[in-house]
Amino acid sequence: MQVESSPSVKAQHNDTSFANVWQELKWRGLIHVSTDEAELEKALTGEPLTYYCGFDPTAPSLHLGNLVQLLTMRRLQLAGHHPIGLVGGSTGLVGDPRPTAERTLNTKEQVAEWVGYLQGQVSRFLSVDGDNPMQMVNNLDWTAPMTAIDFLREVGKYYRVGTMIKKDAVSARLNSDAGISYTEFSYQILQGLDYLELFRSYGCTLQTGGSDQWGNLTSGVDLIHRAEGKSVHAIGTPLITNSDGTKFGKSEGNAVWLDEKLTTPYAMYQFWLNTADADVVDRLKVFTFLSQEQIEELETAVAERPHKREAQRTLAYDVTSLVHGTDAADKVIAASAALFGQGELHELDEATLKSATAELPSGTVSRDGMGIVELLVASGLAQSNSAARRTVAEGGAYINNVKVTDADAVIDFTELLHGRYLLVRRGKRNLATVEVAR
């Protein structure tokens, strides 16, 4: 499979004002829990070590929670350490325990397809060439050949059930009405096996992951200690939450995905632009490569000029560029301006226009229904013909950002965007789109 890093990867660098990468990770708030901190800092400031993070193909795309791990991996790679990206072709067939209910198992064919998608995404955020390229692995390669007896004899013998049931994810399910299946109960053994395999084959001595996976991370640490008599490390990054206690990375119940087909660049940009003042500095630390000095300047801007939203605009542009490229980010900004009359709508390409208007109310009319009154009603911006006429009379009706003052006006075909769309506006901020049937 041919994979390429994002163009922005080559321009990234760590902040040299910190004594070492461990200190920078701590300042950025990326260390929630770890194995022995002093030993880990010593290991990260010594000879380059090999580390890994695993991503399970339980969906066709990674999301913002996974981006925390990808950028943590990238910071370690920039410090000279050797990354392994693991996409779990076998663990994806099982699924780690969720807090409340058993996972729905996807087909082998579906999981294999998603493995390919995720491998491509992981590769975009890490350097895959040069002197220190990421190595990509799939844990199905070493689990598939194992028989059940091999698994029990060679791996299962090192695990104690009493320890396994104390893991947070497992104990929560054991105490729930749903209980837990042996399938999900065994997940921690499979993840431990991954670390053992990578330790033996690649000399891997560090695993990173979310703090909610700490039980699975330490499963591998413990297994290597028992099987090989060696000490290795793990880092658990914090789960990102908003200052009001709500879950980060959720938009009306849906994850913010890294695949533009699932979350458009425009929606990605708007998500970050809407970051609360109380959260924006922490987000800049985690999701950008801006230096401490640059982030502190933006922190001052938040305190002194919050209405300008300088920090949010920087965050939105940087992360959208990181995920989708600078060209997409520039188009998003142009679209945002054009929607409200500060740019030229007709210059937007169709994909950008559709992305920018995807969340707006919309309607459809025939080519005989292009009167301003019909368009206001079809768009949902007016509830009736009489309400639409009042909007026009009050000077609040706009088509493609041009004010319409005649309630009997019919919009010319030449005004259609890409031969089929019209942007309808009522007042300063109420927008909708109408598609004209061909």
**Is pLDDT at 324 greater than 50 in this prediction?**
yes
Mean of the pLDDT values across residues 137-147? 97
Q: Helix or strand or coil: residue 12?
A: coil
Looking at the domain assignment, is residue 243 inside a domain? Answer: no
Looking at the domain assignment, is residue 245 inside a domain? Answer: no
Task: Convert the pLDDT of each residue in 259-297 to its tens digit.
Answer: 999 999 999 999 999 999 999 999 999 999 999 999 999
Looking at the domain assignment, is residue 357 inside a domain? Answer: no
Of 6-15, 56-65, 137-146, 229-238, where does mean pLDDT reach its minimum?
A: 6-15
CATH of the domain at 121: 3.40.50.620
| Pairing mode of beta strands 135-138, 82-87 | parallel
**Two structure tokens written together for 38:** 């002093």
Task: Identify the domain boundary among 200, 215, 237.
Answer: 237
Task: Convert the pLDDT of each residue in 192-238 to its tens digit.
Answer: 999 999 999 999 999 999 998 999 999 999 999 999 999 999 999 99
Q: Examine the domain organization and report whether 271 and 193 are in the same domain.
A: no
- Angle of helix 277-287 relative to helix 292-304, nearest 10 degrees, comes to 170
Looking at the domain assignment, is residue 416 inside a domain? Answer: yes
Q: Examine the domain organization and report whether 263 and 202 are in the same domain.
A: no
Task: Convert the pLDDT of each residue in 368-424 to its tens digit.
Answer: 878 999 999 999 999 999 999 999 999 999 999 999 999 999 999 899 999 999 999
Residue 184's alpha-carbon distances to 161, 173, 294, in angstroms, are 14, 10, 44
In sequence order, the 6+-apart residues with CB closer than 8 A to the CB of 398 are 341, 404, 424, 425, 426
Q: Examine the domain organization and report whether 255 and 300 are in the same domain.
A: yes
Range(s) of the domain holding residue 127 = 7-237
Count structural domains, the chain: 3
Total-model pTM: 0.90
pLDDT at 254: 66
**Is pLDDT at 191 greater than 70 in this prediction?**
yes
Calpha distance 339→359 (Å, rounded): 13
Q: Examine the domain organization and report whether 331 and 283 are in the same domain.
A: yes
Q: Examine the domain organization and report whether 47 and 186 are in the same domain.
A: yes
252 pLDDT band, cuts 50/70/90, is very low
Percent of the chain clearing pLDDT 70 (strictly above): 97
Task: Identify the domain boundary among 237, 272, 289.
Answer: 237
Task: Convert the pLDDT of each residue in 64-105 to its tens digit.
Answer: 999 999 999 999 999 999 999 999 999 999 877 777 777 788
175 pLDDT band, cuts 50/70/90, is confident
Looking at the domain assignment, is residue 301 inside a domain? Answer: yes
| Average pLDDT of the residues of the chain | 92
pLDDT at 2: 47
Strand partners, 311: none
pLDDT at 428: 87
Task: Convert the pLDDT of each residue in 41-68 to its tens digit.
Answer: 999 999 999 999 999 999 999 999 999 9
Looking at the domain assignment, is residue 194 inside a domain? Answer: yes
Looking at the domain assignment, is residue 244 inside a domain? Answer: no
Cα angle 15-26-5, degrees, rounded to a multiple of 5: 55
Q: Examine the domain organization and report whether 208 and 337 are in the same domain.
A: no
